Structure 1
Amino acid sequence: MSPDLIRLFEAARAAQGRAYAPYSRFPVGAALRDETGAVHAGCNVENAAYPVGTCAEAGAIAAMVAAGGRAISEMLVLGPGPGLVTPCGACRQRIREFAGPAARIHVADGAGVRAAFTLAALLPDSFGPENLGSEVAHG
């Protein structure tokens, strides 16, 4: 793994360790790099009024926006189990708000990165800010 990818992996793993997942027992961490190179992380936070929780990807995006970032250059999602833990449909659209089709989304487990996709592969022919005439600049 490249040093940049290692940094994302470590941030996602640390966030995963702080996940609040008492109902699903499925902790997920996510980390992204914004247009300035800053790394922002998030974890899933569940709620007794299931499924009103927050996904790890949404938490990482919120952290980026709160810190002043506006574009996702790259993201890593880390989850447990034998299957690939790719972003859910809602998170794919959340990512799309801040990332272009070529943005790389890495999927990992505790042992390392297992797969990588472009956002276009995860959400083909997507609807984004430019459909509404927004001039959002993606990293």
Structure 2
Amino acid sequence: MVDICWEQLHRSAIEVRQNAYAPYSHFLVGAAGLVDDGRIVVGCNIENASYGLTLCAECGLVSHLIATGGGRLLAVVCVDSQDNYLAPCGRCRQVLLEHGGKELQVMTPTGPLPMAELLPWSFGPQDLRRVGGLNTNP
């Protein structure tokens, strides 16, 4: 089991947040995640003039995870422009669940919580397998 250094994740999220592209909202977000092999993956938000195409920092983090060999997320930290912890939005909770499961620890403004508490009654790969006949390998 890899130890979670929340301070290191916080620093990594702050560092990557400096690369965020948010010319419309000016709401800069950085995210850092600890992978089960000890790596730290990061992401920042990327806005788009067509707001629906904006990419959240957590999506960038998951893209970095997959692009660098995959693995399982153990812990995630998201920060705003004041270095405050942010809880992921609902869409990002679902994305993080896919790559960390219900045990994934997410830092919130009140402390770390497992994804099972942040996204109760979640829908995941196990639900697709339960339907039957679907070939899923996550």
Task: Give me the TM-score of the superposition, normalised by structure 2.
Answer: 0.85
Identity within the alignment, %: 35
| Matching residue's letter, 1:129 | P
In the alignment, the residues of structure 2 paired with residue 49 and residue 135 of structure 1 have an alpha-carbon distance, to the nearest angstrom, of: 34
The structure, 1 or 2, with the larger RCO (C-alpha pairs under 8 Å, 6+ apart) is 1
Paired residues, number: 130
Instruction: Mark the runs of 5 or more structure 1 residues left unpaired by the alignment.
Output: 109-113
Aligned-pair CA distance for 1:135: 4.8
Q: Is the 8 A contact 2:44 2:60 kept in 1?
A: yes
| Matching residue's letter, 1:127 | F
Task: Give me the TM-score of the superposition, normalised by structure 1.
Answer: 0.84
Is 1:65 the counterpart of 2:66 in the alignment?
yes
The structure that has the greater radius of gyration is 2
Residue 18 of structure 1 is matched in structure 2 by 19
In the alignment, the residues of structure 1 paired with residue 98 and residue 4 of structure 2 have an alpha-carbon distance, to the nearest angstrom, of: 26
Q: Is the 8 A contact 2:79 2:85 kept in 1?
A: no
Aligned-pair CA distance for 1:107: 3.1
Residue 96 of structure 2 is matched in structure 1 by 95
Instruction: Mark the runs of 5 or more structure 2 residues left unpaired by the alignment.
Output: 130-135
Runs ≥4 in structure 1, deviation > 3 angstroms?
none
Aligned-pair CA distance for 1:100: 1.9
Root-mean-square deviation (CA), in Å?
A: 2.1
Alignment of 1:1-139 (within 5 A): 4-80=5-81, 85-107=86-108, 114-133=110-129, 134-136=136-138
Aligned-pair CA distance for 1:80: 3.9
In the alignment, the residues of structure 2 paired with residue 107 and residue 23 of structure 1 have an alpha-carbon distance, to the nearest angstrom, of: 25
In the alignment, the residues of structure 2 paired with residue 91 and residue 107 of structure 1 have an alpha-carbon distance, to the nearest angstrom, of: 14
